Amino acid sequence: MKTLVNHIQIENLDKRLFLLLGLFVAVMLANQKSPREVVLGPNLDIFQKSVRVAHAKELLGASYKKVQGTVTATDYHGTLHTTVSKAFRGSNKLFSPKVAQTIIEESYRYGFDPYFLVAVIDGESTFNPRTVGRFGEIGLMQIKPSTAAWIAKKLDLNFNGRSDLFDPVTNIRIGAAYLNYLRKKFKSRGALYIAAYNMGPRNVHRAVSKNIIPKDYPRHVMKRYLAYHKKAVSKKFKIEELSKSF
């Protein structure tokens, strides 16, 4: 695997951006509104764009320029809402607005490019909130109830059992929190924390100890991540070639 470069973490963003985030959260709490309901001023736009850029660079390194047009687009959130709406099928489309907004909120909470969560959801469940995996994984992000209970207890998240995972909003909140935990555990090495989401951190550590870097699942996710960016900006670049950097 090529060495991942520019492992830029949210912790390394300019301190001023943290102040902006703190102000943003304070406004939300004071008004009991979602980020979509809060007027997005220019400073918040700068912060959100910085988060997207940082994570895209973390995932793609020098190849980041291929997706720069989407990551920095002024209509980013509108495009993402449209993308999510198109991804749902049948009666599940009713979930689209809340799902898109939850993806946006949880992504900025943990410093992800929102299209990354879109790619994980697509790869795990093709946006079917009723999906149940062969090992008991549930919902949009295919989370095991045991994993959900563990991360919810660790981070003091609201979780009342297996049935909660069929709720798209709860599922995404827990899935994003778990991804963030893995990201920290593997020091922002994209290929490793993405692989760990699929095969578990212990199995990834075992593989790395044998000088083996798991590639199948990271490529599975990154192909989708790149495809969504490519479609959003109608750019021509080779998805297969870029995903092989994982």
Higher pLDDT, 48 or 14: 48
Amino acid at 33: K
C-alpha separations of 48 from 92, 99, 144, 229, 238 in Å: 28, 18, 30, 17, 27
> In whole angstroms, what is the distance from residue 208 CA to residue 206 CA?
6
pTM across the whole model: 0.80
**What's the mean pLDDT in 209-225?**
94
Model confidence band, residue 44 (pLDDT cutoffs 50, 70, 90):
confident
Closest to 80 measured CA to CA, from 51, 59, 107: 107
The pLDDT of residue 21 is 53
Residue in 143, 39, 17, 129 with CA at minimum distance from that of residue 84: 129
Full 3-state SS string of 33-92: CCCCCCCCCHHHHHHHHHHHHHHHHHHHHHHHHHCHHHHCCCCHHHHHHHHHHHHCCHHH
pLDDT tens digits for range 3-41 = 433 443 444 444 445 445 555 544 444 444 444 434 445
Contact criterion met (CB below 8 Å) for 106 and 172: yes
Band (pLDDT 50/70/90 cuts) for residue 159 is very high
Q: Which residue has the higher pLDDT, 100 or 41?
A: 100
Q: How many CB atoms lie within 10 A of CB 68?
A: 17
Residue type, 190: G
Instruction: Tell me how far CA of residue 135 lies from CA of 138, 145, 146, 178, 205, in angstroms.
Output: 9, 10, 11, 18, 21
Q: What is the mean pLDDT of residues 94-108?
A: 96
In the numeric block, the tokens 């607005």 are attached to 97
